[in-house]
Amino acid sequence: MNSTWKQYITILKNVVKPALGCTEPICAAYATSVATQMLGEKPETIDVFVSDNLYKNSMGVFVPRTGRVGLAIAAATGATGGDPEAGLEVLAKLNESQLNEAQQLIDAGHVQVKREATDEFIYCRVIVKSSLHSAEVTISGGHTLIVEKRLDGNIIFALDSLLPKASTASICDGVDITISSIYDFATQAKFNDIKFILEAKDLNIALAQEGLKNPYGLEVGRTYQKNIETGLLSKSLDSEILIYTSAASDARMGGATLPAMSNYGSGNQGIAATIPVVKMADFYNADEEALARAFIMSHLGAIYIKSHYPPLSAFCGNAVTSAAAAMAMVYLAGGTFEQSCSAIQNTISDTSGMICDGAKSTCAMKVGSSAQSAMKSSLLALNDHCVTKQGVIAEDVEKTIKNIGRMITTGMPNIDHEIIEIMAS
């Protein structure tokens, strides 16, 4: 295997991984669990300082195993029952006694959450204190990327500033990667080298089934399923994609105790990159090898497109994730590389106005809408229809991706600021 393909596999293994709960509050839970381990005893007080974007994506989302929303309960349970060795699955073993202990800390006013001015989009600093000692952990650039640890005010670990910072935002820096090279890798790599990506199907389909079985959030998936059963709606590939992606997000944002296979730090985006592709593969009776190759397109394609702009912003990442999924869906339907590029163009044209106003139950509607856009766009592409040179969509897919990055990076910061201020008011 050539060195570039090895880099692609490293990127996938670093950025496509299981996560229990929305990754922004889980970031705080992880930081607090590490700080508590350093402290050597349960803390008496917890102070949490986060970036505006991490604050935005934590205000309205349920924390798994708690039935509650927000950063306070995430941080408190990280201290009382978090496993610092479990990364994004830090709360997987939380029990009722530990939850009650966390709530007591909050009720006593011993857990404080504040926004902190920082240029970093993913940022969380926690300080835990006992009667005699204090421990501080700072995460920056990635949801589990610890850059500093302090014990009783003394630095005991600091990420070497001279070393490359393995943040989510810089994951593709210095890598020779394009949509064309992703397609070549996906279609030509040995199956044994890429079959690890198939775990995404097991995790995200299980999450969808949980969302259909039990009521979470707005019950988007269950509502559509119910109306198919009554005959108001018709069963089709399109409806299956909508139902399963929405149901998975319903469960995800509603605090289900099952992990999602995340993409670029987002469980919802992992769902958007996985489930529409699974349903298309099922329709065409594709084997595991074809599905794995399609997953490489959807997951790595999504990572590549999102690397052109900040990891948290005013833009809903499901939009471009679904563009990569559309590329994979065209492949499964027997389309050409050119048609796969057309599917990306079509999806981005359709979803480029979708904003992010925080992680919450309504994300299930956006995940479902973007997944339906992927279906619609892939059908247009397979029939040789492609959006080109219209709005932000260029003639070439690589230029379109750069345009989207420019629109978000330089054009949307003020929108993001106003969204956060509205939500915090």
- Give per-residue pLDDT as tens, 242-297: 999 999 999 999 989 899 999 998 999 999 999 999 999 999 999 999 999 999 99
CATH 3.30.1330 domain extents, the chain: 18-158
Phi, psi of 311 (to 5 degrees): -70, -25
Q: Specify the higher pLDDT residue, 269 or 20.
A: 269
pLDDT of 167: 54
The confidence score (pLDDT) of residue 163 equals 53
pLDDT recorded at residue 425: 84
Q: Is the pLDDT of residue 199 over 90?
A: yes
Of the chain, the percentage scoring pLDDT greater than 70 comes to 98
What CA–CA distance (Å, rounded) separates 423 from 400? Answer: 31
User: Which CATH class, in words, describes the domain spanning 18-158?
Assistant: alpha beta
CATH assignment of 171-424?
Answer: 1.10.4100.10
Helix (H) / strand (E) containing 253: helix 237-253
Question: CA–CA separation, 425 vs 324, rounded Å?
Answer: 36
Q: What percent of the chain has pLDDT over 90?
A: 86
CA proximity to 418, closest of 313, 317, 319, 316:
313
* Averaged pLDDT, 304-325: 94
The dihedrals phi and psi of 158, each to the nearest 5 degrees, come to -145, 130
Tokens 């479902």 correspond to: 368
User: Residue 412's closest CA among 284, 315, 281, 276?
Assistant: 315
**Sheet of 123-129, strands arranged across:** 111-115, 45-50, 123-129, 134-140, 146-151, 154-158
Specify whether the CB–CB gap between 78 and 90 falls below 8 A. Answer: yes
DSSP assignment, residue 261? E
Report yes or no: 290 and 195 within 8 Å, Cβ to Cβ: no
* Tokens 């994609």 sit on residue: 241
Distance between CA 155 and CA 25 in Å, rounded?
A: 25
Beta bridge partners of 62: 69
pLDDT of residue 169: 59
Residue 180 binned pLDDT confidence (cut-offs 50, 70, 90): very high
Task: Report how far residue 34's alpha carbon sits from residue 46's, in angstroms, rounded to the nearest whole number.
Answer: 13
Say if residue 327's pLDDT is above 60: yes
Q: What mean pLDDT is predicted for residues 310-315?
A: 89
pLDDT band at 21 (very low <50, low <70, confident <90, very high): confident
* Residue 24 in this model has a pLDDT that exceeds 70: yes
Phi first, then psi, for residue 354 (nearest 5°) are -80, 115
pLDDT for 59: 86
DSSP 168: G
| 224: nearest Cα among 355, 319, 364 | 364
**Where does the pLDDT of residue 168 fall: very low under 50, low under 70, confident under 90, or very high at 90 and above?**
low
Which residue's structure tokens are 């699974």? 278
Per-residue model confidence (pLDDT) at position 304 = 97
Domain with CATH 1.10.4100.10 in the chain: 171-424
Per-residue pLDDT band for 57 (boundaries 50, 70, 90) equals confident
Per-residue model confidence (pLDDT) at position 347: 98
Neighbours of 364 (CB within 10 A): 28
